[in-house]
Amino acid sequence: MATDLKKQAKAVYSALNKHDLEKFLSFHTDDAILESVPDGSVAKGKDELRTVINGYFTGMSDFKMEMTSCIASGNRQCEEWIVTGTHNGTFLGFPASGNKVTFRGILVRELKRGKTSRVINYFDSATLAGQLGALPPTTKK
């Protein structure tokens, strides 16, 4: 099962990076759930998933998401990822800033009947908010 998860995850990231929303959705069950821990949002079903992912594409026309590592066990997998893009459209309610965006996160993916049925997503919302212009930029020491 772990091999199936890793193979599917790579295909999901490929579809996201091609901005192929229908291909992305084809890897999910009809009742798939996407939970975003930082903002508490929950998307249920393909229509709500479509809305969430389309928000990334319209907020960052050059949106890319790279899986940097993954660990799989049974029907679950943890994936570390990095998102990059240019904030050139409304994203998460923030008007376009023109800023380059790079933020990291981790998600837990669960498969049911060979498709993603649930994703719990955790990401660095403070860094993202700063890059979107909602907070003062962070500085590294």
Model pLDDT, residue 117: 96
Residue 33, in any domain of the structure: yes
pTM assigned to the model: 0.87
Residues 58, 60, 63: CA angle, nearest 5 degrees = 115
**Domain around 38:** 2-131
Residue 14, in any domain of the structure: yes
Residue 91, in any domain of the structure: yes
Give 10-residue mean pLDDT values along the chain (141 residues). Answer: 73 96 96 94 97 95 96 93 96 91 95 93 90 68 53
Strand order across the beta sheet in which 76-86 lies: 41-44, 28-36, 115-123, 100-112, 76-86, 64-73
Work out how many domains the chain is built from and give that number: 1
CATH of the domain at 59: 3.10.450.50
Model pLDDT, residue 138: 55
Model pLDDT, residue 127: 87
Closest CA to 31 of 115, 109, 107: 115
